[in-house]
Amino acid sequence: MDPALFQENERLTPKADERRFVDIGALECERGGRLANVTVAYQTWGTLSESKDNAVLVCHALTGDSNAAGWWDRLVGEGKAIDTARYFVVCTNSLGGCRGTTGPSHLAEDSRPWGSRFPEITIGDTVEGMRRALSAIGIERLHAAAGGSMGGMQILDWTVRHPGEIRKAWLTASCAAHNANQIGFNEAQRQAILRDPKWLGGDYPPDDPPVGGLAVSRMIAHLMFLSEAALESKFGRRLQERGTDGAKGPGIGPSTFDPRSQFQVESYLEYQGEKFTKRFDANSFIWLTRAMNAWSVESLEGSTTEYLLTSFTSDRLYPPHQSERLHQMAEEAGCKSRWVNIDLPYGHDAFLLDEGEQGEAVKRLLEP
């Protein structure tokens, strides 16, 4: 198994802060509510051509940020699938996030965190935030846009709402709408946060957030991000070295009464959950997952975009049939489309790591 599969927080924690910020003015949210002044954090790589026809937007997944060359380092960079020597690559932090763009943890006009007062946002609102940010830096049309999971949803929504603005789109490990399993999965994670006494209805103090609930939420997520084969290969039933004295004999696991006694997979989940609380906000998780669950695209009619859909055979969170359906929708709308289903045992997180078959498909799509 690829060691990077088990280093999620290490991959997603920026080594340096290279963000820039742009104010995009007021935003009237689709479901009511108004954000008086929205700031969008973004990063860029490469050089925008004089004709401005080489811009590629990268949209991050739920808990990502604007540092695409960091968390997608196998695919974004000089000489890689999204080649920063050829393309001007832009990645923004999503509206409602907590990595620089206006979200629930940011200050409202009264100088207090938005908290529970933050308006309900939609995938369409996040798209509008990105569109305005790109316009502010001089980009009105994109050669291509790329994203996985929530990022793929944003791109798909964009191509339908604003035909002609994205020439080519790559959606990986994504869908046209969450199904009951995905809605329920997000709800289980949210409930871990909502039932933490420190959540306080979303108005918790910045220095005392509901880290216990957020950590448990992330532990749940990791069990779906990785495939059964990946978890079994990495951990199996092996015990932590410090906890083997809790075992009582062959075939008997650690004692539930001994806190030192622990399976390796338990220790891994606890570690990843705790580390996650250092870089993400509980309210952002709640607001963004609600937006994802509520969103759907029924048809691609009217889109002029060329699509590439990639999926992974072992992805339990966004199974391949959802990408296959996207491919069918694109063809039904008369759009050029290609679906590539990749046989890797890594699970959902394969979309962050596979520079092989996935990378070659992207290179082919991006060619003029």
Active site residues: 149, 315, 348
Report the distance separating Cα 115 and Cα 134, nearest Å.
27
Handedness of CA 26, 29, 30, 32 (dihedral sign): negative
Report the distance separating Cα 172 and Cα 174, nearest Å.
5
Report the distance separating Cα 306 and Cα 163, nearest Å.
11
Report the distance separating Cα 146 and Cα 58, nearest Å.
5
Collect all residues with Cβ–Cβ distance below 8 Å to 360 and sequence separation of at least 6.
81
Contact 337, 331 (CB under 8 A): yes
| 3-class state of residue 38 by DSSP | strand
Among 130, 20, 148, 173, residue whose Cα is nearest residue 82: 148
- Residue 86 is inside which H or E element, if any? none
Report the distance separating Cα 122 and Cα 130, nearest Å.
13
Beta strands 166-172 and 337-342, pairing class: unpaired
Angle at 159 between CA 158 and CA 160, to 5 degrees: 90
